[in-house]
């Protein structure tokens, strides 16, 4: 979003809540997105994929088209595979294995 802002491009963001707030809009999905729009879910870490799958499900129920998931770290505990079974591609910056290799190399 920050890079988009610097380039004067429009990149909207949204949040998929664990549970709706008890006040305000009281929605699962909040932000500048509308039914029918294509979105990408971002995650810091995936383990089993459970929370990401819930986010995908809630986004879809709100009429959003989930094009993929981008994750910083895949702990390689089945999450990526579980998400991809839904037909959603996953792109990972680093895996647990890659982090461990880098740690061993630099220790």
Question: Could you give all domains of the chain from N- to C-terminal order, each with its CATH number?
Answer: 2-105 (3.40.50.2020)
Pairwise CA distance, residues 61 & 65, whole Å = 10
Q: How confident is the model at residue 21 (pLDDT cuts 50, 70, 90)?
A: low
Whether the full predicted model's pTM is greater than 0.95, yes or no, is: no
Token pair listed for 8: 């004067």
Q: Could you tell me if residue 92 is left (phi over 0), alpha (psi between -120 and 50 degrees) or otherwise beta?
A: beta
pLDDT at 24 > cutoff 80: no
Token pair listed for 42: 């971002």
pLDDT in tens, 32-45: 778 898 888 989 99
Pairwise CA distance, residues 71 & 2, whole Å = 17
User: Please, where are the H alpha helices in the chain?
Assistant: 2-6, 50-61, 79-84, 96-105
pLDDT at 94 > cutoff 80: yes
pLDDT in tens, 42-82: 899 999 999 999 999 988 988 999 999 999 999 999 999 99
């Amino acid at each position: 979003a920050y890079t988009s802002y610097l380039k004067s491009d429009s990149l909207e963001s949204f949040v998929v809540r664990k549970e709706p707030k008890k006040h305000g809009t009281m929605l699962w999905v909040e932000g500048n997105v509308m039914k029918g729009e294509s979105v990408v879910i971002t995650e810091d870490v995936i383990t089993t994929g459970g929370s990401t799958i819930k986010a995908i499900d809630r986004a879809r129920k709100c009429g959003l088209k989930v094009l993929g998931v981008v994750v910083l770290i895949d702990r390689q505990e089945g999450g990526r595979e579980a998400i991809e079974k839904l037909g959603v591609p996953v792109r990972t910056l680093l895996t647990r294995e890659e982090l461990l290799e880098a740690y061993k190399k630099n220790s």
